[in-house]
């Protein structure tokens, strides 16, 4: 389509940096925690916060100092729902990102067509992959998949990606990404099917209560550690006092506070705890939880 591939790649690399562990269930848990302390959380804006505030490898400025186009694409990559047409909001000003909130999720359009490409790619990427995984794990069978999906999109991730990209290229232009009515109908049918038969299945939701309990406990533990550090104004003394110097989790937290969040002493402990938990991968969370909450034999 003759677009800026470097811009597309930069947005794509950064789009999920703020995603919580354990997928959308983890995000829901952090949303609940955030709202209880009068904060907001959604992974799109958290990803923007990561590149603007929480990843600061340079001495002369906070954050990564990215362009508006990259930052906007990250904040507006919303992957839920399937609009038939997606046009960039070319009237958008850079200042608008500072006032974006959870209310703008899915409503605010990217400022560039490159941002629209990433938003569509996010949608395309997971539907077919999740369907293929569910078939392999025998959560569903081939006969369960709606005919309109099988006929127009296919049954494998590769076929679905190919069908969607081909249709997008046929129906898009220099100022709009669009799919045909037939493909749009099929997309919505596939999303509805995945939601009902995969994402809400017993197999997929069986650990949700554990995720909620574990993430809430982790958040509160990290918050109290940060409060203690803020009161003393020193991470080192805190580690000595708590006797947890040797833990990997605390070492990473110390590096996060000292090297990335330069004003951590004056920021809300609730926000910093959310930031830290949101930055965990699934595997890091499980390791950290084991390290902090499981007793060790002597």
Whole-number pLDDT of residue 69: 97
Whole-number pLDDT of residue 248: 84
Q: Where are the alpha helices (DSSP H) in the chain?
A: 5-14, 23-36, 43-49, 68-75, 113-136, 147-152, 157-171, 181-194, 202-205, 208-232, 235-242, 248-255, 269-278, 282-293
| Residue burial 84-117, b: 16+ Cβ < 10 Å; e: rest | eebebeeebeeebbeebeeebbbebbbbbbbbbb
Written as six digits, the tokens of 150 are 């099988």
Residue 211 to residue 213: CA distance in whole angstroms = 6
Whole-number pLDDT of residue 238: 55
Query: What is the fold of 5-17+55-205?
Result: Hypothetical protein af1432 (1.10.3210)
Whole-number pLDDT of residue 239: 58
- Give the residue extent of every domain in the chain: 5-17+55-205, 208-293
Q: What is the mean pLDDT of each run of 10 residues along the chain (298 residues)?
A: 96 95 95 97 95 91 94 90 91 93 87 96 89 92 94 92 94 94 94 93 91 97 92 71 64 88 92 97 95 83
For 214, what's the count of Cα atoms within 13 Å in the CB-facing half-sphere? 23
């Amino acid at each position: 389509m003759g677009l800026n591939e470097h811009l597309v790649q930069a947005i794509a690399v950064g789009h999920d940096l703020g995603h919580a562990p354990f997928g959308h269930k983890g995000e829901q848990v952090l949303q609940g925690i955030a709202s209880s302390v009068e904060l907001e959380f959604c992974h799109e804006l958290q990803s923007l916060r990561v590149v603007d505030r929480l990843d600061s490898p340079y001495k002369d400025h906070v954050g990564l100092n990215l362009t508006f186009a990259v930052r906007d694409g990250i904040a507006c990559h919303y992957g839920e729902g399937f609009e038939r047409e997606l046009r960039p909001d070319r009237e958008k000003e850079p200042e608008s990102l500072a006032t974006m909130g959870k209310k703008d999720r899915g409503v605010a359009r990217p400022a560039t067509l490159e941002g629209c490409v990433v938003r569509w790619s996010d949608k395309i990427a997971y539907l077919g992959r999740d369907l293929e995984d569910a078939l392999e794990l025998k959560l569903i069978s081939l006969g369960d998949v709606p005919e309109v999906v099988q006929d127009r999109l296919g049954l494998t991730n590769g076929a679905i990606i190919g069908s969607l990209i081909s249709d997008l290229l046929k129906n898009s232009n220099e100022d709009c990404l669009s799919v045909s009515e037939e493909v749009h109908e099929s997309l919505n049918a596939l999303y509805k099917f995945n939601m009902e038969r995969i994402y809400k299945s017993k197999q997929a939701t069986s650990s949700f209560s554990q995720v909620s309990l574990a993430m809430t406990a982790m958040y509160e533990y990290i918050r109290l550690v940060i409060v203690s550090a803020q009161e003393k104004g020193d991470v080192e003394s805190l580690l000595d006092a708590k006797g947890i110097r040797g833990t990997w989790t605390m070492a990473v937290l110390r590096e996060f506070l000292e090297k990335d969040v330069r004003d951590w002493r004056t920021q809300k402990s609730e926000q910093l705890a959310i930031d830290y938990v949101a930055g965990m991968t699934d595997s890091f969370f499980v390791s950290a939880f084991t390290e902090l909450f499981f007793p060790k034999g002597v």
